[in-house]
Amino acid sequence: MLDGTTAEIVERKALRINAAKTCQPIGAMYAALGIHGCMPHSHGSQGCCSYHRSHLTRHFKEPVMATTSSFTEGASVFGGLANLTQALRNIFSIYNPEIVAVHTTCLSEVIGDDIPTMIRKAKEEGSIPEGKMVIHANTPSFVGSHVYGFSNMVMGMVNYLSEKTGNTLNQINVIPGFVEPADMREIKRLAKEMGVKIVMFPDTSNVLDGPLTGQYKMYPEGGATMAQIKSAGDSIATIALGHFASHVPAATLEQKCNVPASFLELPIGVQATDRFVSALRGYAGVDIPASVELERGRLIDLMSDLHQYFHGKRVAISGDPDHVIALTRFLLELEMKPVYCITGSPGNQFEKRMHELLDPVVPNAKIKQCGDNFELHQWMKNEPVDLLISNTYGKYIARVENVPFVRFGFPILDRAAHRFYPTLGYMGAVNLINQMLNAFLDKKDRECAEEWFELVQ
Amino acid sequence: ATVRAEMLSVYPAKTKKKREKQLLTNDPGTPPEIAANTRTIPGIITQRGCTYAGCRGVVIGPIHDILHITHGPIGCSYYSWATRRNLARVKPGQPVNYLQYSMTTDMMEEEIIFGGEKKLAAAIREAYRIFKPKAIAVYATCPVGLIGDDIHSVCRKAKEELGINIFGFSCEGYKGVSQSAGHHIANNGVFKHMVGLLDEPDKAKFRINVLGEYNIGGDAWEIDQLLQKCGIHVTATLSGDISYEQICKCHTSDLNVVMCHRSINYMAEMMETKFGIPWVKVNFIGAEQTAKSLRKIAKFFGDKQLIDRTEEVIAQEMAALRPVIEDVKSRLKGKTAAMFVGGSRAHHYQHLFKDVGMLTVAAGYEFAHRDDYEGRVVLPTIKIDADSRNIEEIEVEADPKRYNPRKTPEQIEALKAGGFSFKDYDGMMVEMKKHVLVIDDISHHEMEKLIETYKPDIIGSGIKDKFVIEKFGVPCKQLHSYDYGGPYAAFTGAANFYKEIDRMIGSKVWKMVTPPWKKSTQE
């Protein structure tokens, strides 16, 4: 397995091998699915849309709907106006969404299609029915990564939908970042537990983790409603979780509607969740309820019970920047040693923040933006680790290097129940601890000498 | 017919007019003309993918000891990384299976503005330094054509510099109307750059190539084993579990048997023209079909021993399979299936369902052409429309030295007189019942209507549809990825499939969908 990967590192400036990122539109599609009654639309050739739908489906094991402009060679040369107009007419007639959220691909970005003008024209000639909405985001695949695509589509929501009426509502916006439906559900639960009213967008819970009832619903129960996103302009404040996925849209909302934004990291682990909970408490002026404190206490209890298994363990992490930053922070709380940390996404903020976190405790850690799993594997060959945490693509490395492996982030293509378990919040941290411990002890039980095979651990 | 009308009724006029021609009720006697291989209607929710997927993802991607470098932004290489289950085993002396890698130039804004040729050349050099492969294939994606990167000249220069075979495919996603254009581009490229490079035939007798078989879930291995039992040798399977060397020498084989007509018929035709290798259509999906295909191959060689041995193998395999068929049939007889798969399986798999007494109530392809629906007889009447006109047709001539007709005209006449036919694909429609629906490039809306109306006991489709269909309470068998199971080819594969379908249709889970408090009567 991966026999072409050698410990010797040949410098690469042009060739990307086994990427730790994918392209913008899939992030935009995911974000758009977090709007209730929304049809995501991919303005490009149809291959992108099929790939993005397939990939999201493989991760969630759920239907993922989206339409495409289905560019042909002609449209690629002369522009995709006719394709988009025809698409909108068909989408509203056949599938009747409340809103269509258009994103672009490298194709329509290279030819320079002007989407706002196209939407306006479609509106003028009646291809968009009264009361229906079309929004857009430019998501060129040759810039950033899928996380940027997510951020851009959330910005599209703010740009088109959020409004300030002047009538401030007693609610707090939460932009959750490119996280799982289970995480979004966990954020809502925490807020509810605290008695804080939040408006979260996008929100894919009850969209991509739906039930099987014998009735297929093209537009499932979940998703932030257009009215909610609109009302975000009247909220007290916005809490944006994750620099890469959420900060720009929150800043945009601050500019547009004067809603002050609080920029946090993803609430993974103790202190990051403390900060999130404290931010909710501060803005809403509520006390932290006993139930939330109890959850926190249980997590601390678990961390103390299992400290021996985590302390000093060397970890390699590959994933999306917000996830890697937040996870690293949690692993440091467990006194583990994140020694190799990469993200495929570009952005200096990643390396800056990771150095802040790691330099004092793991001074020799290798940290890299625009890294890939090929190089990560080479580092591991040179100096092994005790644990690998990444999306499914890490399983090849884990097998060949015989390293305990925890699946985390996007995408997880080879397991299913992950969609019900958060990694955010105190309970999410419990889930992560459980997974890491199982990975460590399964390996020990499988490989240790018989006399060390023990009943109680 | 009313279903058809209902499916069409919701469409805007222009859309309806087009879909009418792609949605027919079958007549196996005289298959009606279907509109296929035409552009996708924007916004309709198609299952289709693109030319890049057809080229890199399907036809060439499975060659496991050459490097595949995607020239484009990150997505295309990422999504085609190990998602199709074209399994490969490393061969002795070839220690690396490159299919575990995904390689790309990861184009950035800078390359879009100033061009990406330099980065591509550098990427090829880096790939060579790290992996020292036998050959490198380069694939163009949407922006490459638009910004005017000349991947072919980059490849030519790199080939001279590095001394290995390096070649490019202009398979930009917007070309043609579906994956199909990518197949064609791939066939042309494989034929131009690999086939014929190695003139040393395998030593075995009765050499064939299996064309258009991609070893999904181990299908090609199953077919290969079966042929071996009969005494037939496979020089190359294009392109499931195939090595570079096997492709280079596949022209030394004596017969091409075609599994997936859509993706590889171009190659079959070109090899016949250039090297004199005849081709026949076979199908190793379904027990009866497998037996028929084996007999056809044995008959072609006309060797008594081979024919006898083949009959023996068929008898043994069928004897083992019969109890499985009878057992499964006792539960599935009369149940119904519908199938919407790529360009081949929607036809082939009907045989497996038929083996266990099931009926196909509707079927269609994503990207097949009229000949796959109506048979190759309609080939002369197919007009290539504006959207597919720019797909290269390469001129092939008989090789002055190596053209070698495998049969004399007399032998061919004798075979034909005995009921043997060459280049014989009759298409899907003649084998389907009268009045069943044939739907080309099915839309999500049509799929929903189909489920509501027919309530099929099972639907064969792909990952994008699977969970939609199952939300309705109808099991969906993925006939692209096999739901990570398989093999389903040949006799052993058939047994796997029957049991799998039996499991899925009989699963207790479907009976638990409605909570007891919502049921009118207690069960």
Asked if A110 is an active-site residue, the reply is yes
Per-residue model confidence as pLDDT tens digits over A152-175: 999 999 999 999 999 999 999 999
Of chain A, the end-to-end C-alpha distance in Å amounts to 32
Cβ count near A294 (within 10 Å): 11
Domains of chain A in start order, with CATH, are 24-160 (3.40.50.1980), 172-288 (3.40.50.1980), 306-423 (3.40.50.1980)
B400 CB burial (10 A radius; 0-12, 13-18, 19+)? exposed
- Between positions 141 and 170 of A, the ones with CB within 8 A of B are 141-143, 145
Of B3, B10, B15, B33, the C-alpha closest to B436 is B3
Closest CA to B141 of B166, B170, B176: B170
Q: Rounded to an integer, what distance in angstroms lies between the CA atom of residue B449 and that of residue A407?
A: 38
In the three-class reduction of DSSP (H, G, I as helix; E, B as strand; rest coil), residue B247 is classed as helix
Chain A nearest-CA distance from B400, in A, is: 37
For the record, the structure tokens of B324 come out as: 């499985």
Which one of the listed residues B39, B48, B84, B156 is annotated catalytic?
A: B84
Is B100 within 8 Å of A6 when comparing Cβ atoms?
no
Residue B208: strand, helix, or coil = strand
- B522 — pLDDT class (breaks 50, 70, 90): low
* Closest C-alpha to B363, from B28, B83, B41, B18: B28
Encoded amino acid at B16, one letter? K
The predicted-structure confidence for B409-434, as pLDDT tens digits, reads as follows: 999 999 999 999 999 999 999 999 99
Q: Do A374 and B146 touch (CB under 8 A)?
A: no
pTM: 0.98
Laid out side by side, the sheet with A261-264 consists of: A198-200, A172-175, A237-241, A261-264
Contacts of B130 in chain A (CB under 8 A): 4, 6, 10, 12, 15
Q: Which of B42, B45, B58 is nearest to B180 (CA)?
A: B58
CB contact under 8 A, B95 and A3: yes
Region of B95 (left: φ > 0; alpha: ψ -120 to 50; beta: rest) is alpha
A343: left (phi over 0), alpha (psi -120 to 50) or beta: beta
Q: Are A343 and A286 in contact (CB under 8 A)?
A: no
Three-class SS of B394-413? CCCCCCCCCCCCCCCHHHHH
- Secondary structure (3-state) at B434: coil
Cα-trace Rg, chain A: 23
DSSP run (H or E) holding B151: helix B151-162
Task: Note whether A47 contacts B: Cβ–Cβ < 8 A.
Answer: yes
Q: Is B341 on the interface with A (CB under 8 A)?
A: no
B463 and A93 within 8 Å at the Cβ level: the answer is no
For residue B90, what is the DSSP state?
P
B34: closest CA among B46, B45, B21? B21
Cα dist from B263 to B36, B41, B147, B200, B234, whole Å = 15, 23, 29, 26, 19
Residues 6+ positions from B49 with CB-CB distance below 8 Å: A46, A47, A50, A51, B57, B178, B179, B366
Distances (CA, A) of A281 to A183, A274, A278: 19, 10, 5
Identify the CA nearest to B186 among candidates B144, B217, B224, B140.
Answer: B140
Q: Determine which one of A23, A48, A102, A106 is catalytic.
A: A106
pLDDT band at B94 (very low <50, low <70, confident <90, very high): confident
In A, minimum Cα distance to B455 occurs at: A214
Tell me phi and psi for residue B155, to 5 degrees: -65, -45
pLDDT one-digit tens code per residue, A33-45: 999 999 999 999 9
Distance CA B316, CA B321 (A): 9
Is B523 a residue whose pLDDT tops 90?
A: no
Residues 6+ apart with CB under 8 A from B344: B212, B259, B260, B261, B262, B263, B365, B368, B372
Chain-wide mean pLDDT for chain A? 98
Which 149-188 residues of chain B touch chain A by CB within 8 A?
A: 173-177
| pLDDT > 70? residue B202 | yes
- Asked whether the beta carbons of residue A72 and residue B387 sit closer than 8 angstroms, the reply is yes
- H or E stretch including B477? strand B476-478
Element (H, E) at B239: strand B233-239
Q: What residue in B sits closest to A54 (Cα-Cα)?
A: B464
B405: left (phi over 0), alpha (psi -120 to 50) or beta: beta
- How many Cβ pairs closer than 8 A exist between chain A and B? 253
Q: What would the pLDDT profile of A86-122 be if each residue is shown by its tens digit?
A: 999 999 999 999 999 999 999 999 999 999 999 999 9
Q: Inform me whether the pLDDT recorded for B1 exceeds 90.
A: no
The answer for B 458-517 residues in CB contact with A (under 8 A) is 462-464, 466-468, 470-473, 513-514
Residues 398-437 of chain B whose Cβ lies under 8 A from any Cβ of chain A: none
Q: For B10, which residue in chain A has the nearest alpha carbon? A: A94
pLDDT in the model for residue A177: 98
What's residue B520's pLDDT?
Answer: 81
Over residues A259-312, the pLDDT tens digits come to 999 999 999 999 999 999 999 999 999 999 999 999 999 999 999 999 999 999
Going by pLDDT thresholds of 50, 70 and 90, the confidence category of residue B257 is very high
* Residues of chain A neighbouring B79 (CB-CB closer than 8 A): 22, 51-52, 54-55
Q: Is the pLDDT of residue B488 over 90?
A: yes
Is A14's pLDDT higher than 60?
yes
Check if B84 is active-site: yes
pLDDT of residue B93: 81
Beta strand ranges found along B57-162 (DSSP E): 67-71, 103-104, 135-140
CB atoms within 10 A of CB A307: 11
- Residues of chain A found within 8 Å of residue B45, distances taken between Cβ atoms: 65-67, 95
Lowest mean pLDDT among A65-74, A438-447, B90-99, B393-402: B90-99
- Six token digits for residue A125: 């000639």
Residues 6+ apart with CB under 8 A from B290: B226, B283, B284, B317, B489, B490, B491, B494
Contact B45 A95 (CB under 8 A): yes
Cβ-defined contact of B77 to A16 (cutoff 8 Å): yes
ipTM of the predicted assembly exceeds 0.90:
yes
Handedness of CA B244, B248, B253, B258 (dihedral sign): positive
Q: How sure is the predictor about B91, in pLDDT bands with cuts at 50, 70 and 90?
A: confident
Phi/psi of residue A17, nearest 5 degrees: -120, 130
Residue B521 has pLDDT above 80, yes or no: no
- pLDDT, tens digit, 9 for 90 and up, residues B336-369: 999 999 999 999 999 999 999 999 999 999 999 9
Please tell me the distance from the alpha carbon of residue A119 to that of residue A69, in angstroms, as a whole number.
Answer: 13
d(CA B125, CA A259): 52
Per the omega criterion (within 30 degrees of 0), is the bond before A411 cis?
Answer: yes
A74 in reach of chain B (CB within 8 A): yes
B384 in contact with A, Cβ within 8 Å: no
Query: Token match 């054509």: residue?
Result: B145
Query: What percent of chain B has pLDDT above 90?
Result: 98
Distance CA A437, CA B422 (A): 62
Contacts with A47 from chain B: Cβ below 8 Å: 49-53, 76, 173
Pairing mode, strands B165-169 and A67-68: unpaired
Query: CA nearest A177: which of A157, A151, A146?
Result: A151
Q: Is B107 on the interface with A (CB under 8 A)?
A: yes
- Mean local confidence (pLDDT), A132-153: 98
Question: Is pLDDT above 70 for B235?
Answer: yes
Confidence band for A396, pLDDT divided at 50, 70 and 90: very high
C-beta of residue B6 within 8 angstroms of C-beta of residue B439: no
Catalytic residue among B36, B50, B220, B368: B50
**Closest listed residue to residue B105, CA positions, set B91, B92, B117:** B117
Q: pLDDT per residue over A324-379, tens digit each?
A: 999 999 999 999 999 999 999 999 999 999 999 999 999 999 999 999 999 999 99
For residues B47-68, give the mean pLDDT. 97
